[in-house]
Amino acid sequence: MPTIRPASAAVAAGVLLGGSVAAELVQPVQASDGAVVQPVLFAAYLLLWIAGAALLVIAAAGLPRTSRATRIGRVLAVAGAVLLTAFAVVVLATGLGSRPLEASFLAFALGLLLSAAGALTAGLAGRRPLLVVAGVGALVALLAPGDPWHDLGLLGFCLAWAADGVVRLRARDRVGAAA
């Protein structure tokens, strides 16, 4: 079975996570009190998020380990992606009944915080500006007073991971073409 390379996983993760966020912006599936009003779309959005977050685990695990700081960033980013995956699984399982378990959003907040810390640390230490953008996007999503800033921060986080993956794929292609 072929393995998914971290750069490809980063692209797919960013697109799937960003697609989930964008879809919710275009067609909300929850009432203002959190009640699920469109269960099929709710499940579809969360399945996109789960797939994207699981791929983000692979992308983060593939971050370079060139220094102590990049290794720390990698560990933080992986832990954050795992929590973002767990969050979505719990929300999907509990939200189809009527409304998601409120406590699951603690996993989201901690996952986003760890993802931000990991992307910023690995990005700054490894001179990867798009990871720094991802970290800033995660912080905006976490700390912004509400919409639209929360969603814009999430989209920035997602798209920056995808762009970082594209940069890594292009660099790999250039190295392969030169050989």
Report yes or no on 107 lying in a domain: yes
Report yes or no on 146 lying in a domain: yes
Number of C-beta neighbours around residue 45 at 10 A: 24
Q: Which residue has the tokens 């378990």?
A: 101
Q: State pLDDT tens for residues 145-178.
A: 888 899 999 999 999 999 999 999 998 877 766 5
Output b/e per residue, 6-25; b: 16+ Cβ within 10 A: bbbbbbbbbbbbbbbbbbbe
The whole-model pTM stands at 0.94
Q: Facing residues of 36 across strands?
A: 30
What is residue 30's DSSP assignment?
A: B
CA pair distance 83, 109, nearest whole angstrom: 9
Report yes or no on 173 lying in a domain: no
Report yes or no on 172 lying in a domain: no
- Total structural domains within the chain: 1
- Give the per-residue pLDDT at 178: 57
- In this predicted model, which residue has the larger pLDDT, 1 or 164? 164
Mean per-residue pLDDT for 63-77?
A: 96
CA pair distance 89, 176, nearest whole angstrom: 39
Report yes or no on 105 lying in a domain: yes
Q: Does the pLDDT value for residue 22 go beyond 90?
A: yes
Report yes or no on 130 lying in a domain: yes
Report yes or no on 28 lying in a domain: yes
Cα within 13 Å of Cα(45), Cβ side: 21
CA pair distance 106, 22, nearest whole angstrom: 22
Report yes or no on 50 lying in a domain: yes
Q: Facing residues of 30 across strands?
A: 36
Domain span at residue 153 reads: 6-167
| % the chain with pLDDT above 90 | 87
Contact by Cβ (8 Å): 79, 49: no
